[in-house]
Chains A and B, each alone.
Chain A
Amino acid sequence: MYLEISKKDINNELVQKIHEISGQNVFDCYQCGNCSSGCPVVDYMDITPNQVLRLSQYGSIEEILKSETIWVCSTCLQCSTRCPKGIDVAKLMEAFRTVNLRDGVGVVDPDHLEVENKDELPPILLVCAMRKLTG
């Protein structure tokens, strides 16, 4: 993919929005890749967590918002506990999901949820999924 990096994108409004929601400074990242190496679900991501950080530094937030990655992340916090620069990567992921959900993107409708064995699901599972996926 071709990426044009430009001053107007660095720390643009969306980056600032993410900063506001997450409280995290994406410019702290120096790309060691520890977040991705510890991530248990990185195999299912289309861009890795460290790439999310890198793209954020470039201001390419749209690409992240469109990614599968932010929905694959389940907030296990492995990345957040290991980041040598103290970036709470999980909070960043939540911020990206939140920006989408507030725009109605990726929102799951509980009424039309297609799940097998619905009866055996513990309430905790349904509640937390809805909390995460409805905004």
Chain B
Amino acid sequence: MKRIGVFICHCGVNIADTVDVELLTEKLADYPGIAHIENYMFMCSDPGQNLIKDAVKTHKLDSVVVAACSPTLHESTFQNAIAEVDVNKYQLEIGNIREQCSWVHSNKEEGTRKAELIIKTAVEKAKLNQSLDPVSAPLTKRVLIIGGGIAGIQAALDIADGGYEVVLVEKKPSIGGHMIQLSETFPTLDCSQCILTPKMVQLGKHKNIKLYVNSEVEAIGGFMGNFKVTIKRQPQYVDPDKCTLCDDCTVACPVVVPSEYDEGLTYRKAIYVPFPQAIPASYTIDTENCLGFEPIACGECKKACLAEAIDYDKKEEIFIEDFGAVILATGFDLYPVENIPEYGYGKYLDVLNGLQFERILSATGPTGGKMLRPSDGKVPKEIVFIQCSGSRDPERHKPYCSKICCMYTLKHAKLYKHKVHDGQPYIFYIDIRSGGKRYEEFIQEGVSEDGIVYIRGKVAKIYKEGDKMIVHGMDTLTGHKVKIKADMVVLAQSIVPSEGSGKLFKTLKLGTDSNGFMSEAHPKLRPLESLQSGFYLAGAGQGPKDIPDAVSQASGAAAKVLALMSNDEVQHEPIIATVDENKCSGCSVCIGTCPYGARELNEDRIAAVNDILCEGCGACISACPSGASQQKNLTDDQIMKMINVIIN
């Protein structure tokens, strides 16, 4: 017979207010199997842990039940505590009498009764718990990074500099993300491209980094430390080794497409380099728009290419590679302005989104950095900026604050004033959120010195009259309805997860919040990890964030990965499936049920378990018709005994 110790925690008043801890201690003392029982104010405290350790030694306990909070919080605390006094950590059982009892009940009598049952079931389970050892698996010391914006670039460089091999997968033809489109960055107003391109060049040339552009992750298998990832690469159709970057192909190409880089404000050809500083710096053919795949229809670029670098017959390639960890840096896009028809985007050429305005401000943009409006190329003398366009609007659009718009809108207004000295910017806002280093000062300088007029209120509607956008708003501070005849309107659209990221997260089985942003393992204490082991988060794909935050998070995620890479093997929980060879008929139901590919028939026609691949989900166990499959430390026998406690 096992000697089980039971330790009941008061958790201050969290438990003790609803559960009569003293009464339970007294009442359970004679319960079969319990060799020792006591209670304490805070079991997780150092004195609390010492109390458990001392009791183990004094009473020669070989199994421990702690009745306290959820095992997600302190299970490992108590596991480590008993391990220190030589009791196998899988001999620890938690009875959750807080989240599942005291916090959800108010009647002390009933709470106490329920806590009693919870503790008894834990004791019953503990009686049959076996001592287990973690499953060890080798660790692949290679890292996959998905997304080549600033977050992905930073993480890749940090890990590669740490000496590990990195594969960066980017779906677009170049890395750089949205940051490469920006003109200048707040609050320092340094040129975005000037600070980003050195990192891009460094990445392109780094000996530890392999770059796949035009590529996407198709499938993933395995587990932390041993992922097997399928990457699909669309062909560029231009051999970068032969290409001399002469640009003859572009000149020859008859197909004109709106430029992604310029947010549709200019046009590019179907064969193109996305932007001058693109990495890799090579031409690519946009298959959706190119006519050359029908050689009768076109083929102009191929004819023009003297280096014979173009090959329409190139096929997409599939790579299957092994990785130990994955960093997701999938980034953001802007909420489609078409969803806010009252702002007239798409209908009026001079109503722009923030990224389009960045392009107009940029020296490499459609106007060469001149402040000209798209409709007629005139200098806009009055510009209205609208913040929270789609954000903080739970009813119709997005419920959350997009965090960066207050700052970039002010930056837009400032840069506009730098270019058009006699121009007048107006900013409609609901609140100004400038909680970053030097951010508030940046805003206040704009207000005091740059003549930027802030108007507190949301814009109701924009309509075009002649060549003016008539902006109808409200100034809630003076109570006046406001009308402005603007030459241009810039909408600070909500930040949303990047297009296609939802599909990727599904492929990777990654959790997201209701807005599609990746969920972190813990919002405060594990913000860089996914709940899915081996996946780490960086950048705006996890939630709207600015460049400093994205870079910090990326470096943080890289540090997490580097810590993982410093191990020689990964350890895997041993709470996994096992098979009783005497009972297994080899029916193979489990094999079809297992989502991890961990079950397979061996030469004796027994459905064996691959300990490394098994995640312990229990699907095969419930599917097994003969009861041959059992979960370690959660056997049918244990479950039945626990149920018995409750129904008797």
Assess whether A27 is in contact with B448, with CB atoms less than 8 Å apart.
Answer: yes
Taking the complex as formed, is B532 at the interface, i.e. its CB lies under 8 A from any CB of chain A?
no
Contacts of B456 in A (CB 8 A): 31
- Per the bound structure, the CA–CA distance linking A60 and B600 in Å amounts to 80
Taking the complex as formed, is A58 at the interface, i.e. its CB lies under 8 A from any CB of chain B?
yes
For the complex formed, measure the closest distance between the CB of A56 and the CB atoms of chain B, giving whole angstroms: 11
Q: How many residues of chain B have a CB within 8 Å of chain A?
A: 25
Interface secondary structure of B, over-half rule: strand
Which residue of chain B lies nearest to A5 when distances are taken between CB atoms in the complex? Answer: B484
Known interface pairs A27-B447, A27-B451, A28-B447. Does A4 touch B479 (Cβ–Cβ under 8 Å)? no
Per-residue contact bits, chain A 61-94, to B (CB 8 Å; 1 contact, 0 not): 0000000000000000000000001000000000
- Per the bound structure, the CA–CA distance linking A51 and B475 in Å amounts to 10
Assess whether A11 is in contact with B451, with CB atoms less than 8 Å apart.
Answer: yes
Assess whether A2 is in contact with B481, with CB atoms less than 8 Å apart.
Answer: yes
Q: Enumerate B418-447 residues with CB–CB distance to A below 8 Å.
A: 423-424, 426, 432, 444, 447
Which residue of chain B lies nearest to A8 when distances are taken between CB atoms in the complex? Answer: B424
Contacts of A2 in B (CB 8 A): 480-481, 483
Taking the complex as formed, is B482 at the interface, i.e. its CB lies under 8 A from any CB of chain A?
yes
Which residue of chain B lies nearest to A87 when distances are taken between CB atoms in the complex? Answer: B448
For the complex formed, measure the closest distance between the CB of B168 and the CB atoms of chain A, giving whole angstroms: 43
Contacts of A132 in B (CB 8 A): none
Assess whether A4 is in contact with B477, with CB atoms less than 8 Å apart.
Answer: no
A: interface residue count bin: 20 to 34
Which residue of chain B lies nearest to A26 when distances are taken between CB atoms in the complex? Answer: B448
Taking the complex as formed, is B455 at the interface, i.e. its CB lies under 8 A from any CB of chain A?
yes
Choose from A3, A7, A25, A29 the contact partner of B424 (Cβ within 8 Å).
A7
Contacts of A31 in B (CB 8 A): 454, 456, 477
Known interface pairs A3-B480, A5-B426, A6-B382. Does A54 touch B475 (Cβ–Cβ under 8 Å)? yes
For the complex formed, measure the closest distance between the CB of B439 and the CB atoms of chain A, giving whole angstroms: 14
Known interface pairs A4-B483, A28-B447. Does A55 touch B478 (Cβ–Cβ under 8 Å)? yes
Taking the complex as formed, is B485 at the interface, i.e. its CB lies under 8 A from any CB of chain A?
yes
Contacts of A25 in B (CB 8 A): 448
- Per the bound structure, the CA–CA distance linking A61 and B449 in Å amounts to 20
Would you list 18 pairs from A and B whose C-beta atoms are within 8 A, ordered by A residue? Answer: A1-B479, A1-B481, A2-B483, A3-B480, A3-B481, A3-B482, A4-B483, A5-B455, A5-B482, A5-B483, A6-B382, A7-B382, A29-B447, A30-B432, A31-B477, A47-B478, A50-B477, A58-B475
Q: Told that A3-B483, A30-B454, A85-B444 touch, could you supply 20 new A-B pairs with CB distance under 8 A?
A: A1-B479, A2-B481, A4-B484, A5-B426, A5-B453, A5-B484, A6-B484, A6-B485, A7-B423, A10-B453, A27-B451, A31-B454, A31-B477, A51-B479, A54-B475, A54-B477, A54-B478, A55-B478, A58-B453, A58-B475
